[in-house]
Structure formats: C-alpha cells, structure tokens
Amino acid sequence: MPITQLLSKNAQLYPKEVSLVERQPMIDGRREITWLEFENQSNKIANALMEYGVKKGDRVALLLMNSLEWLPCYFGILKTGALAVPLNFRFTANEIKRCLGVAEVKVFIYGPEFCDRVAQIKDKLDYIQKFIFVEQGFDADRVDCSELNKSIASNRPEGYTTFAEIMEKYPSDGPDVQITDDDDAALYFTSGTTGTPKPIILTHYNLMSACITENKHHHQTHDDNFLCIPPLYHTGAKMHWFGNLLVGARAVILKGVSPKWILEAVSQERVTIVWLLVPWAQDILDAIESGEANLKDYQLSQWRLMHIGAQPVPPSLIRRWKKYFPDQMYDTNYGLSESTGPGCVHLGIENTHKVGAIGVPGYGWQAMVVDDKGKPVPKGIVGELIVKGPGVMKGYYGNPEATANVLKDGWLYTGDMAKMDRDGFIYLVDRKKDVVISGGENIFPVEIENFLMTHDDIKDSAVIGMPDRRLGEVPVAVVELKNGRNLTEEMIIDFCKALPRYKRPRMIFFDKVPRNATGKIEKPKLREKWCKGREVLYA
C-alpha cells in the first residue's frame, strides 16, 4: 500500500499520542505534535497544493532544515500523488536552481535559512507557480530574515504563501486521490560525492519496502523512540525512521549535533534507537574519555540500539563503543539513494563478531560481488557490489543512459568495491572511482583509513591518489587530529610502516576531513585542494 496510508492508520489508532518531537538545544526549545496533528497538517498541505494546481505526477520541491514541519510537508506532497523533491540544505543557489529546473518543479517549499540563496535565483524561477515559506521551527536570534521580510512587505512575490496561512485556511480532510504502489513518490538527488547530483525516481512501493526492511532488521515496536539527527532530505535517517512509522512509534528530531545534546535527548526523551554517523560516535567517545561527558549524569539504560551507516565504519571505533556501552545492540547499515537508502546490506544485531563487514543481504534483498563483466568473483576477491531487491530505484529521472549504466537485469550496480568472506559476509573496500592504482596495483583507501584510525591521536582520515611520474599515482593521507593532540608527518609515516610498502601514504596533510551531511568523505574537494597541479616526485 502507499506509504501515506501508514500515517492515516497511525492517526486513527493513536490520535492523541505524540508522533514527533523537535528539540532545539541552542535555545532550549522543544515542540511536539500528535499523530492526528501530523495527519491533519499533511492533509492541509495536500489540499493547498491541489488548489495551487498540483496534480498527480507533478513535482514539489522541499528545502528545509530538519524541523517539525518537514515531515508533514513531505507527506502532504505525497498525498496529492505528486513527487516530493527534497533538496540538500548545503546546495548553493546555483545548485538549487539547477535541481529545481532538472526536476521541473511546480511548487517550491523552503525555510528561512535559505532566504539569501532563494533571493539570488528567484527571478530565474518563473516556471514555479507557487512559493510556500515555512516560517516556523527556526531560531530567530540566529537566522536573520529581516531583508526578506522587507522585500515581502514592499514587493510580495506573486504566488507566495506561508505554512501558517495554509494551516489556518485549508481543511484537514484527506484528499481524494487514488495512489497505487507503482506510482512515483519522490525524486531524491544523489549526494554528489563523485560528480553532479542525479535525480532518482522512487515509487511508493520503494518507500514501503524501506519501512518493512528497517522494521525487520531492528524490530521496532510501538514503544520505541527513534532519535533523528541526520538531514531528512537524505534517504538515510528518514528511511530508518520508517521502521517506527510502520508501528506508530514516536521519533525525536534533534536540531544540532554535540555529544551533550545527543546524550541529553536520549536521556530526557527516553530514546531507544539512535542512528549515528562515524564522526558523531567518535565525538561522543572522545567526550566520555576526556571527562567532558559523564555517563552517570544521563538515563541511558533504555537505549537499546546504536547503528551506523553512510560510510565505512572502522572496527576500532566499535570496539571503543562497546567498552562504554557493553549491553547495547549494534548494527551497521549499507545502502544508497538508488536502493531507497539503507538496508540492502546490513550486519545484523546478532553478528557483532563480524564487525568490519557491512554484512549480508538485507530482508528481501540479494547481493553479489562481480567482475567487470558482471560475473561473480570467488570469495575473498575484490569486485563490484551489486544488489537486487524491492528498494531498487525506478531509474534516474530524464536520464535513460545513466539508468542503463547502473540497472542491468534488475541488478543495481553500486559502484562500490567489496569482497565476500567464506561465511558470506560482505566487506566494503572502497568506491570504484576512489581506488588508487599505483604501478598497476589496486590500493583501496578505506583499508588505509581504517588503519590510520587505530592511532589514538587521530580523529579522522582520508586517503586519496596523488599523481606520480613513475607509478601513475600513489596514496597520500589527509589526517585530522583529536583536540590537543600533536603528531608530525614523520611520526605518522613511521606508524604506517606496519602496512605493506605499496600501501603506505607517501605524504601526510594535516587538515579537517570534509564530509557531506550524510557523513561521506568529499574526496573531490580533497583532490582539488591537495593534488591539483602537484605530483609526488619520489616513489
């Protein structure tokens, strides 16, 4: 069934129970809505959109920071039969303009944090029929919208309305739109770590499959509470929340990231499930070990599951985590936007003895490691990971050539290099495009990054290929140290002597490792900064 029916069902079964909580630690703010309020707000958005001319198959863009309004807007779009187009909040004005144009958006919903960027491109968006401004859910002391407010007062844009006006004006009756499982539901733009973001078509069947897969993996019940920290525009945190949606369990949206804020939210809201990115887990551990955070100050006994995805997870990190949270279940989740987010491969809470692997095929999924001709490779041999299952995207919107490159006979070619052990567990080696080829040898940066992360003074690391006259390229490392720690290039190079000679980084750069909002290393930025116009003159 369409995913919108889950929301309606929860509103009928649990109308007065809290569905979503928003926490703003910077201002000690907290808001919440019930399942019935969630449903009613979504219906009002849907009815407004339909009056604005939105019909089945149209596209409506959503550019908001995480807030209590985000999900009601998203489900309101879905209820019209239109496609929701969530946009990355890090996009520049030109990237926003490009994505709106590629998706052929009819209505644009955005928040106050994006006033300046939208103002830069507004004159070039004449194809958009309506703008909806979501004025709630932000810290007015930190977000200056005075110039926008002056502009609205003196020259109110045509087709402009606000979320508050919609909530006041439109009925909360559900729209009479027939939606099937096969109908398109959303366009998600890829994260863009390896090139220009491409729009991915996901259907209602895809979204529902994510609900089922997530719930099968992590066994959410109506009593669970999910802490949502990563951005809702991505297919990561939201699809993990889908496991709670399936059973009408509440969730907490945390606006801001710090060890203190995370632990306070878990403690005060009685959170049971948290999905973290690697840097956040590291920050929590660093805070515990430095004495900045005292676990005795928080009520954490109900926190039953911590899971991580979006990037390779250093085994050393999980060993540290289990030292402080020995009774907590742990899982690693692997997925792509093209697979409707995480779940096509997962470690499984019963398989912590295999930490380091991304796991086995998820519920309802198949996975293989293949060579360049699509033939399975022997266990222990590196190849490309391909997956097949209910979450595989319909395709790239308006780009049949790109679709044909990654969808073959129902299999999704992930572009990730992996290997499978004798027990069938899959280990992620690296992105196909990130492999360093040195003197004909394939060097997988993740292996070196994981090794560097075992050093007590290193917080984060990234390995990229530097041009080399003799070998073509050689590995170099960008290293981010923990606060107050001191290492020299010579010390790290000496530490790396434990690696085979050809895998040792030839140069060390000390810098912050740039990651996108979903935790993936932005290696194109590192190559541009450290490798452009340079080469290693020794081997």
pLDDT, tens digit, 9 for 90 and up, residues 465-498: 888 766 778 899 999 998 888 899 999 999 999 8
pLDDT band at 521 (very low <50, low <70, confident <90, very high): confident
SS3 for 327?
A: coil
Residue ranges per structural domain of the chain: 4-179, 206-431, 442-531
> 477: which strand partners?
463, 508
Q: Beta-strand (E) ranges in 145-204?
A: 160-162, 184-189, 199-203
CATH number of the domain at 442-531, out of 3.40.50.720, 3.30.300.30, 3.40.50.11290, 3.10.580.10?
3.30.300.30
Share of the chain above pLDDT 70, in %: 90
pLDDT, tens digit, 9 for 90 and up, residues 20-66: 999 999 888 899 999 999 999 999 999 999 999 999 999 999 999 99
SS3 for 73?
A: helix
Share of the chain above pLDDT 90, in %: 63
The CATH code of the domain at 4-179 is: 3.40.50.12780
pLDDT band at 154 (very low <50, low <70, confident <90, very high): very low
Same fold, 4-179 and 206-431: yes
Please tell me the pTM assigned to this model: 0.82
Q: In the chain, helix, strand, coil percent, each to 5?
A: 35, 25, 40
**126 neighbors 106 (Cβ within 8 angstroms):** no
Sign, CA dihedral 394-397-401-406, equals negative
Domain 206-431 has CATH 3.40.50.12780: yes
pLDDT recorded at residue 538: 42
pLDDT, tens digit, 9 for 90 and up, residues 214-261: 999 999 999 999 999 988 998 888 899 999 999 999 999 999 889 999
> Which of the residue ranges 17-26, 347-356, 360-369 would you say has the lowest mean pLDDT?
347-356
